[in-house]
Structure 1
């Protein structure tokens, strides 16, 4: 049966590239697009796709709650997170939030096909590298490592992601439905844990440790 796949990403080149991969693999598939959270929600009000390929930096939806929001609206739709953020830091956080899979954008076409096929079969997808890492951690053979971003809680991670996009405390409070004082406390905790003094230093540290570089 042909799939209906929604590609939710604000980069046109990514949308076109994924469309090409999906159509080459499954020519009869239906492809829809959303370049921000508003478009995605409006689309889901009208259709019930089998899969959403979701960039976690989607404008208006770059926090862990977005997956829960999508699942509440379309419980049977699979959500495959497709992100430039390091899977070692973010994959399990998004799986715990309800995502069906997590794939870094530095993978190749075969990785994407495997991830899409896995979530379509009703299974959770993590890369082989991530599965091996989790097994080694379970066996006590590896530690989490020296990445300072790993020390952030889920909520601190959400606030951090929004801070580096240039949003202020009031904007973040409104988006996450928090008091401004609470967001201010999270911001102070983030700066302290990461050893930064200002936004420029925060962006530099997040870029160094969170964003996948190819």
Structure 2
């Protein structure tokens, strides 16, 4: 990475921000380009200035650090994120990874570990506190995608039809693609919507996403 690594710090405890600023005051490697006190401020800030790394407290008012990460990912943002926490529980770490965070670090970490985390994540790597089992991190990072929840007892064919409907295909196009009659496609589509208790494609799409079927 050319030039200084640009950081934005977000924490509802001013002492944390002040402490990190003091730590990096004479740094030739890092530059703090902004700070915020809650998750909503953080999202507003990164719309105007884009850091190489966004450092977030995991527990904040309005929006938590994890919620900020989730919103950035949903927006397609490529900003690297590191969550700071007082907690070394596996649940916090796993939720951070699932949200898409690039790192998780305890607030009690040494200066050397903090700088190492900043450097690794800003340059495209991952960094998770050594207090957490590396085997758990490895499992989450490489796990197979979750299988869709099939709470509506849809058949394999109905799941297939659902996927095609969500692509905007008509009954005739579904019939042609699956080499079945148009009438059969209509019946499958009717049964699918009845099982999922929806009345139109918009409701179908929304419920499919809600239940991780799309």
Q: TM-score range by the shorter chain?
A: 0.5 to 0.7
Deviations 1:135-179 (A, max 9, x none): 8999xxxxxxxxxxxxxxxxxxxxxxxxxxxxxxxxxxxxxxxxx
The answer to whether the aligner puts 1:77 opposite 2:79 as a matched pair is yes
- 1:4–1:92 distance in 2 versus 1, CA, 3 Å: same
User: Which has the larger share of helix?
Assistant: 1
CA contact (8 A) 2:88 2:131 kept: no
1:19 aligns with 2:26: no
The equivalent of 2:38 in structure 1 is 36
- Residues 135 and 124 (structure 1), Cα distance of their counterparts in 2 relative to 1, 3 Å cut: closer
Distance in 2 between the 1:135 and 1:102 partners? 11
> Which residue of 1 is the match for residue 58 of structure 2?
56
Write out aligned runs for 1:153-192 (5 A): none
Residues 119 and 28 (structure 1), Cα distance of their counterparts in 2 relative to 1, 3 Å cut: closer
Query: What SS class does the counterpart of residue 79 from structure 1 fall into?
Result: strand
Q: Which has the higher contact order (CA 8 A, sep 6+)?
A: 1
Partner residue, 2:173: none
Give the TM-score taking structure 1 as reference length: 0.57
**Quick check: which has more Rg, 1 or 2?**
2
Q: Report the number of matched residues.
A: 138
Q: Which runs of 4+ in 1 moved over 4 A?
A: 135-138
Q: CA RMSD in A?
A: 2.6
Match of 1:7 in 2: 9
Determine whether 1:121 maps to 2:113.
Answer: no
1:46 pairs with 2:9: no
Aligned partners of 2:81, 2:138: CA distance in 1, in Å?
27
My pick for the range that moved more, 9-18 or 65-74, is: 65-74
CA contact (8 A) 1:56 1:82 kept: yes
- Give 1:88 deviation, angstroms: 2.5
Cα separation, 2, equivalents of 1:4 and 1:34: 15
Unmatched runs of 5 consecutive residues or more in structure 1: 139-214
Whole-Å Cα distance in 1 between the matches of residues 85 and 21 of structure 2?
16
What is the TM-score of this pair, normalised by structure 2? 0.57
Moved more, 54-63 or 115-124: 54-63
Q: CA deviation digits over 1:91-120, x for unaligned, max 9?
A: 121011110000011211111111111101
